[in-house]
Amino acid sequence: MVVIAVIFFGCASSKTVAQGPVAVSVSYQDFYDDLAPFGTWIDYPAYGHVWHPAMDGNFRPYLTNGYWDYSTEGWMWMSNYSWGWAPFHYGRWIYDDLYGWLWIPGYEWSPAWVTWGTFDDFYAWAPLMPEVNVGIQFGYWRPAALYWNVCGRGHIYDRDIFNVVEKRDVVMNDINRINIIDNFSTTRLHNQYYSKGPDINEVERFTSRRIQPASIREINNSAVARREENETQVYRPTVTNPQPREFRRIDNNNVGPGT
């Protein structure tokens, strides 16, 4: 049985909008304030404060309403959600059998917190869970089929990638044949490893397209990341003060496969 205590959301964030690359910091309270209108914050066993997006059952992190683009720091998830600056570049995701996908906040920014793999003529990627530490574990951790997204190598650069991924039975049948792509870099603050994804030259060969890496220009507002020619404007503040002040409580744990 699920027991939930009703609470009131906190006040809205007060970040200033300005132009140009500037040094910005936010707290976990800013995560809370910015994401509260788009989902529910929960006190979740083992993980503390997590966020459940108010999406239908078809939502999948790093697949729904976005696409992959290549930056000078690796393959970056370009979300079209107004709130995409946080859940796809900080923290990790888990799947709960009751709620669906839940986001666990984190301190470090990366182009995407996923593991990448390949088999036959396919690329595959899956959200990283909190238990997956940096470094060598990337190569040993095997997400369950539920976590993987798979598409033909020639489609990885498509803007409508949600419509070109393979059906779930393909993933279920070939999960054990996925080879993890060993191509890592480190974050700028604490040198945590993240996967940069497929080699750009290989992707160009499969897609028959010239891919120009985009340099990252930091902005100080949480607008949707936007690429203009060879530059992508990105909001990636430093995160401080880890505790949100208000949340809902759930007393059971329904984490799905792959934990």
pLDDT tens digit string along 8-50?
A: 233 333 333 333 344 678 788 888 999 999 999 999 988 888 9
Amino acid code (one letter) for 51: W
Which residues have a Cβ under 8 Å from the Cβ of 133 and sit 6 or more positions away? Answer: none
* pLDDT at residue 137 tops 70: no
Would you place residue 6 in the very low, low, confident or very high pLDDT band (cuts 50, 70, 90)? very low
Segment 135-163 shows an average pLDDT of 86
Q: State the pTM of this model.
A: 0.84
What was the pLDDT predicted at 3? 32
pLDDT at res. 5? 31
Query: Does 116 or 224 have the greater pLDDT score?
Result: 116
pLDDT tens digits, 158-178 = 999 999 999 877 777 788 889
Residue 73 above 80 pLDDT? yes
pLDDT of 108 > 80? The answer is yes
User: Is the Cβ–Cβ distance between 73 and 196 less than 8 Å?
Assistant: yes
pLDDT bin (cut points 50, 70, 90) of residue 79 is very high
Quick one: what percent of the chain has pLDDT higher than 90?
48
Distance, first Cα to last Cα, the chain? 21
The proportion of the chain whose per-residue pLDDT surpasses 70, expressed as a percent, equals 80
CA distances (Å), origin 234, targets 41, 101, 111, 128, 237: 25, 24, 10, 21, 9
Q: How confident is the model at residue 81 (pLDDT cuts 50, 70, 90)?
A: very high
Cβ–Cβ contacts within 10 Å for residue 104, how many?
Answer: 19
> 122: which strand partners?
119, 152
Q: Which amino acid is at 242?
A: P
